[in-house]
Chains A and B, each alone.
Chain A
C-alpha cells in the first residue's frame, strides 16, 4: 500500500494540469489512468501505421495561454498552430468561405448578402463584448451566491461591477443572450440562411440541443471566446495532435515530481468518517492519500466510483440527473490524398482548413429531430478539419487525415443497442454526405475509425460520450456546475475535489478546470498558490 499527498483520478489534460500545479506546490501526487495511454480526450493515437489521429478532441482555442506559459509547455514540446480558412457548405452549391483577410471576408459575405456583410461587424462586436466578460471569469472560482464568506462576497461584488459596467441595455441583452436559441439570436442580425447556419453551428456542438433550442446561443459563445495568441475566435491545432497537449502537461507535471500510472483504473474512492482517504484500484491495490481529486465527470464520479452510502443525501440523485447527454460521434479518416470539394476555389489557404457541412438551420434542426427519435441522421451536421494539411507530423507526406465531428448521434438507439453493423451504417452516413460535396472522396479512404457516443464512453470514460463532461446549459454553468452548492471544486465528501470539465468553466481543452481546482486545494491545504492569474489581450 502506498501513500501520497494527493491522488488525481484520470490522466486527461485537466487531471494532468491539476497534478502539475499540486506537484509544483511540493505535494507528492499520483495520477491514476485506466487506459494504457494518457490524455483522456486530448489524445493522439496511431491507429493505422503512419497516421496519428487526434481521435477525440481535434482543435483547440480555449487552452489558457497563462497556463501554457506558466508551465513552460513550449519547452515540453507543445506548439499550437492556428489553421485558416473554414468553408461552410450549404445544402446545394452554396459555399461560404471564411477568408483570413478581413476585407476578403467582408467581400465574401457581401456576395451572399450585402446586408449581412455589414451586420457581421455589429455581430462580431457584440459577441466580443460578451465573450470578454465571460473570459474574465474563466480562471476564477465562481462565488457561492448564498455564502457570507468575505471571499464569496468580494467575488460577487466583482462580478456585479463587471455586469454593471456593461450598462443597463447590455445587461438585459446579456441575460437574453444566455437564455436564447442560437437561431433566434442570429435572426436579430442576419437574413441569409447559409450565413446563419454557419454562425449557428458552434451553438450545437457537443450539446444535445438544436439550433432552435433555448440556451444554444451561450454554447455558440463558448466556442468563439477562445483565442490563439490573442486572435480571438481563432482555432489552432496542436502540432503532433491533441495528445501533444496532454504529453507536454504530463512532462511538466513529472518534472515537478508527479507520478503518472497508466493501466490503473480506479474501482472505488475510499471514504472514512466522512472523509476521502484513498482509492482502490480495479486490480485490488489500495492507495491512500490526504486528498482525492476526480477528473472524471460528475455523473461517473458519484455514481460509479463512489459508494452511494458515503454521499450526503441527494447527491447521488443530483449526479444521476446531471445532464450529460451524448449527442455527437467522431469519424477519423485516413486519406491517400487531399480531397477536392465542388464549388470551392483551388486556394490552398482556404480549401484545406476546416469544412463545415452545416447546410441550413432547417437541415441542422432536422438532424436534431433524428437524435430525439433515437437514431442518427442520414443528413448529419459535420464539422471537419484536415490537420495533416497543416501539421506535417500526423500523416505520411502527401497523404492526409480528416477529422469529422458528427452531430447528431445518440448514445442509445431507439431500436436496441449499438452493434458494429449500426456503427458502420452511421459511418456510411458521414462518408456519403461528404461524397456529395467531394466526388471521389470514398476512393481516397485508406482507413477509418468510427466512434459513436457509446464507443467514446467505453474508451475514455466520458459518460454518454458527452464531450463537455456535462452540457453547457445555464442550469449547469458557473456556480451551478456541476451542482448548485458545489461550484468551487470541493465535493460533498471532505478531502475530495473535482477538476474535470464537469466543473467551471466547462468543456474544451482549456486546462482551466484542473488549474482552478488546484488553486482551491492549495488554499485548503494552506500551501502557497502555484496557479497563475489569467492574462488578457483585451484589457
Chain B
C-alpha cells in the first residue's frame, strides 16, 4: 500500500546534502530558505562560529539561487542588469554585484561567475527568474536557465579549508587567488571550486552536479577530519558575515521588488556599496537615478560601529546626544558581541548628514525577565571588523 503524505505540499524541500546534514544536526535546529530545509545550527551556533575562525566548516548553500546565463549576448545582458562592469570580469573569475530598479533601489546582491566569454553563472539569495527575463528583453542570443537544483553547492570556510582541499586531492588549489575559479575532475564530472565565501575568512565554495553531492561531502569530510571540519548553520554565518562587514537581505536591505513603502528599500550608495556602481560603462538599470543620488548624496549611509560595553545593540536607535532626547539619527540593522575581535559590533544606517556627529546607541536588554537599558558610545569603523591576512594571501599560510 502506498501512503501519500497529505502535508507534502507544505513540507520544506530537502537539499542534496540533507542525508548527511540530518545525521549531524544533533539539535534538530532547522529553518527554511527559498523552500529548502537548512540548518540554523548543528550543535551550537557559537561553537560553529569558532570552527570557521579556528578550523573549518561547511555551509550548505544549495538553497541559494543559481542561474546559468549563456549565449553571445550573455555579457551584454548582465552588464545592462548589474551596476558593475561585467566586461571587466576575467575568465574564471567571480565578481560580487548588485542590481537595481530603474529608480536605483536595490533588488538583490549576488555573484557572477565568468566561466567562458559566453557562459556565466549568477547566484543570489532570492529567486529572480522574472527579473532575469525582463533583463534579457531585447537580446537575441541569451538563455537563462535556473540550475539551482542541478548544482549542489557547499561553502568551506576557515583557516584549515585550503589544507582540507589539498588533502582531498585538489592539487593546485593553493594557487587560487581570492575570487578565482578552478576546475577539478571528480568521478567523471567536474568539480568547480571558487575562492569565495561570506565569512571574511579564508574559504572556498564547491559546486558539483547534484548526483555527486554526497560523494563530494564524504570525500571532503574524510579529508577534513584531522582539520576540524564541522557543518555550520545560519547562526554562525550571520556572526561571521557581520564581522566581515557583509550585508544580509532582510537585515541591511529590503529587496526593492518586495518593498511596499518606497522609502523602505535602499540604494547601493546607502549600503556603502558605491564602489560597485560603474558609471563609465554603458547604460544599466538604475543608472540615471544612481547618478543623481551620487551627486546628491545618499540619505542614509550604512556604517560599521564599535560600541562601548558588551550588550549587543540589537534593534537600537542611534542618537547624536547622550541623553537620547532628540530625534534619532539612525538605526542598527545587525549587532553582536564579536568573540574573535572582542568588540561589540554593529552595522547601522545613519543619516548621512549626521555621520560625523557623536553617536550613541540606546540599547535594551533583559536579565532574568527584567528589562534594562543602557546608552553606549559608538565609534565609526571604516575597515571590516575581521580581516585576517590569510583571507587574502596566496598561497594561504598553513593555518
Q: Assess the B342–A69 pair: CB atoms within 8 A.
A: yes
Interface of A is mostly: loop
Given known A74-B342, A397-B163, contact A229–B337 (CB-CB < 8 A): yes
**0/1 interface trace, chain A 199-226, chain B, CB 8 Å (1 if under):** 0000000000000000000000000000
Given contacts A239-B54, A392-B160, contact A69 B226 (CB under 8 A): no
Pick the contact of A392 from B309, B340, B367, B399 — CB < 8 Å?
B399
Other-chain residue from B43, B44, B50, B163 in contact with A81 (beta carbon distance below 8 A): B50
Interface string of A522-539 (1 = CB under 8 A from B): 000000000000011110
What distance in Å separates the Cβ of A44 from its nearest Cβ neighbour in chain B?
15
Interface check A398, CB cutoff 8 A = yes
Which of A230, A390, A397, A398 meets B337, CB within 8 Å?
A230
Q: Return chain B residues, CB-CB under 8 Å to A276.
A: none
B341 on interface, CB distance cutoff 8 Å = yes
Q: Is A147 an interface residue (CB 8 A)?
A: no
CB pair A74–B340 under 8 Å, yes or no, is yes
A392–B159 contact, CB under 8 A? yes
B: residues with CB less than 8 A from A are: 27, 43-44, 46-47, 50, 53-55, 159-160, 163, 167, 225-228, 309-310, 337, 339-343, 367, 399
CA distance in complex: A74, B27 (Å): 31
Q: Find the residue from B55, B167, B310 having the highest chain A CB count within 10 A.
A: B310
Can you list 21 A-B pairs, Cβ within 8 angstroms, ordered by A? A65-B310, A69-B342, A69-B343, A73-B342, A74-B343, A79-B54, A79-B340, A81-B50, A81-B53, A81-B54, A82-B46, A82-B47, A82-B50, A84-B47, A100-B44, A230-B310, A239-B54, A349-B43, A392-B160, A392-B228, A398-B226
**Given the complex, which residues of B lie within 8 Å of A230, measured CB to CB?**
310, 337
Closest partner residue, chain B, to A237 (CB atom)? B54
* B54–A74 touching, CB < 8 Å: no
Chain A minimum-CB-distance residue to B158 = A392
A68-B342, A101-B27, A390-B228 known; A535 vs B44 contact (CB < 8 Å): no
Q: Beyond the given A74-B342, A84-B47, A397-B227, could you list 13 further A-B residue pairs with CB under 8 A, ordered by the A residue number?
A: A65-B342, A79-B53, A79-B54, A229-B339, A230-B310, A391-B54, A392-B54, A392-B227, A392-B399, A397-B167, A397-B226, A398-B225, A535-B310
What residues of chain B lie closer than 8 Å to A229, measured between beta carbons? 46, 337, 339
Contact A100–B159 (Cβ < 8 Å)? no
Residue pairs across A and B with CB atoms within 8 Å: the count is: 59
Distance A68 CA – B338 CA, assembled complex (angstroms): 12
* Minimal beta-carbon separation of A470 from chain B (angstroms): 29
> Distance (Å) between the CB of A127 and the closest chain B CB?
16
Residues of B within 8 A of A398 (CB): 225-226
Least CB separation from A228: chain B residue: B339
A393 contacts the other chain (CB 8 A)? yes
Q: Which residues of A contact B (CB under 8 A)?
A: 65, 68-69, 73-74, 79-82, 84, 100-101, 228-230, 239, 349, 390-393, 397-398, 535-538
Q: Which residues of B contact A65 (CB under 8 A)?
A: 310, 342
> Which residues on the B side are within 8 Å of A397 (C-beta)?
163, 167, 226-227
Of the candidates B167, B228, B341, which one forms a contact with A74 in the assembled complex, judged by CB atoms under 8 Å apart?
A: B341
* A390 to B160 CA separation, bound complex (whole angstroms): 12
Residues from chain A with Cβ under 8 Å of B343 in the complex: 69, 74
- For B374, give the chain A residue with the smallest CB separation: A539
* Residue in B225, B309, B340, B342 whose Cβ sees the most chain A Cβ within 10 Å: B342
* In the complex, chain A residues whose CB is within 8 Å of the CB of B339: 80, 228-229
- List the 5 closest pairs (A to B, CB-CB), nearest first: A398-B226, A397-B226, A69-B342, A229-B339, A68-B342
- Bound-state Cα–Cα, A37 to B160, Å: 28
Contact across chains for B55 and A392 when beta carbons are under 8 A apart: yes
> Using Cβ atoms and an 8 Å threshold, which residues of chain A touch B47?
82, 84, 100, 349
In Å, the complex CA distance between A370 and B340 comes to 43
Which residues of chain B come closer than 8 Å to A228, judged between CB atoms? 339
B399 near A393 with CB under 8 A, answer yes
Q: How far is the CB of B377 from chain A (nearest CB, A)?
A: 13
Question: Which A-chain residue is minimally distant from B311 (CB atoms)?
Answer: A537
CB distance from B163 to the nearest CB of A (A): 7
Task: Tell me the smallest distance from the CB of A17 to a CB of chain B, in Å.
Answer: 15
The CB with the most chain B CB atoms within 10 A, among A69, A82, A391, A392, is that of: A392
CA distance A442 to B237 in the complex (A): 41
Q: How far is it, in angstroms, between the C-alpha of A81 and the C-alpha of B167 when the chains are bound?
A: 24
Shortest distance in angstroms between B75's beta carbon and chain A's nearest beta carbon? 41
Task: Tell me the smallest distance from the CB of A9 to a CB of chain B, in Å.
Answer: 29
**CA distance in complex: A154, B25 (Å):** 54
CA distance A430 to B197 in the complex (A): 46
A101 to B47, CA, bound (A): 12
A residues in contact with B227, CB < 8 Å: 392, 397
Nearest-neighbour CB distance to chain B for A36, whole angstroms, equals 25
Give the shortest distance, in Å, between A183 (CB) and chain B (any CB): 30
In the complex, residue of chain B having the shortest beta-carbon distance to the beta carbon of A69? B342
Q: What is the CA–CA distance of A392 and B399 in the complex, to the nearest angstrom?
A: 7
Q: Among the listed A73, A239, A537, which residue makes an inter-chain contact with B310, where contact means beta carbons less than 8 Å apart?
A: A537
* Distance between B25 CB and nearest chain A CB, rounded to angstroms: 13
Closest chain-A Cβ to B227's Cβ sits at a distance in Å of 6
- In the assembled complex, which residues on chain B have CB atoms less than 8 Å from the CB atom of A79? 53-54, 340
Instruction: Note all chain A residues with C-beta closer than 8 A to B46.
Output: 82, 229
CA distance A68 to B337 in the complex (A): 14
How far does the alpha carbon of A69 sit from the alpha carbon of B337 in the complex, in Å?
12
Residues of A within 8 A of B54 (CB): 79, 81, 239, 390-392
Question: Least Cβ distance of B17 to chain A in Å?
Answer: 19
Closest to A395 in B: B226
**B343 to chain A: closest residue by CB:** A69
User: Complex formed: what's the CA distance from A487 to B43 in Å?
Assistant: 45
Q: In the complex, which residue of chain A has the Cβ closest to the Cβ of B340?
A: A79
Residue on B nearest A84 in the bound complex, by CB: B47
How far does the alpha carbon of A535 sit from the alpha carbon of B309 in the complex, in Å?
A: 6
Complex Cα spacing A82 to B54, Å: 11
